Amino acid sequence: MKIIVTGASGQLGKDLVSILMKSGHEVLGYSRQELDITNQYLCESIICSQRPDAIIHCAAYTAVDMAETDADQAYLVNGVGSRNIAVAAEKVNAKVCYISTDYVFDGNSSMAYNEYDNTNPQSIYGKSKRAGEYLVQTFSSRYFIVRTSWVYGCHGNNFVKTMMKLGTEKSSLKVVNDQIGSPTYTVDLAHFLEGLIKTEYYGIFHASNTGFCSWFEFAQAIFEELKWDIELIPCTTSEFPRPAPRPKYSMMDHMAIRTSGLNDLRHWKEALREFIIQNKNNF
């Protein structure tokens, strides 16, 4: 397949481009500098000239806290930019795979969210990503919306790399223990996306590594794998106030993966173990 990847220089985008190429696809990866998704003319010019079979749309405004005071930019990128991609893709009959987030839910549930539960984002970031979902659904006739959570990998900034850095600087750390979710390794998510876009199983999917934990439990697992003796102290979200509200419970049920007969992602602990074995000497 001929595949365009937006946000190709980002945390997920870099691994995705590499995995797609290794799988034999013709891949055109565009960074923010190469493809400004907020420019409708540019989106149409590139997509209509390249005529891809599919577009995996990773480009996004992801500064969760900054979005609270920068709403126009968040909606411009996550909403309008996604509309531009979907409209241009439809002109060449390309599939669109939009990467979304657990932040479209309010986090007040006591059960895992499935793909058909009502969304209720609480932050500007979450609302702008939900706007992107809606616009892709409106303007694309062949779309996949893939919601994921707690993403980490060897590129960009993320929780695992932050813990590894702090672990070299401090002997004890306070970590939030009242937010529950599923860590997701970019390599595993990229492999899932590569398989998904070859299908015609259009619709909304929840895709994260299976299992769930709190940030505190995630940190425990990181230092256990590293065999570092770091004292971890559980704390509450209220002890670390942030401008944007975080979902307290954002575990997502993978109903669409099961009902489509697709292979689910492995357990988050197994993925974390592989990531640390391969990268512990790189940071």
What residues are annotated to the active site?
125
C-beta of residue 125 within 8 angstroms of C-beta of residue 102: no
Tokens linked to 96: 């669109």
Q: How far apart are CA 191 and CA 114, in angstroms?
A: 21
CA count, 13 A, side-chain hemisphere, 47: 30
Burial track 206-233 (b if 16+ CB lie within 10 A, e otherwise): bbbbbebbbbbbbbbbbbebeeeebebe
Chain-centre distance for alpha carbon 227: 28
Q: Which positions ≥6 away from 118 have C-beta within 8 Å?
A: none
Q: Which positions ≥6 away from 132 have C-beta within 8 Å?
A: 60, 78, 79, 81, 82, 83, 98, 100
CA-closest candidate to residue 59, choices 96, 26, 20, 102 = 96
In the numeric block, the tokens 């992801």 are attached to 62
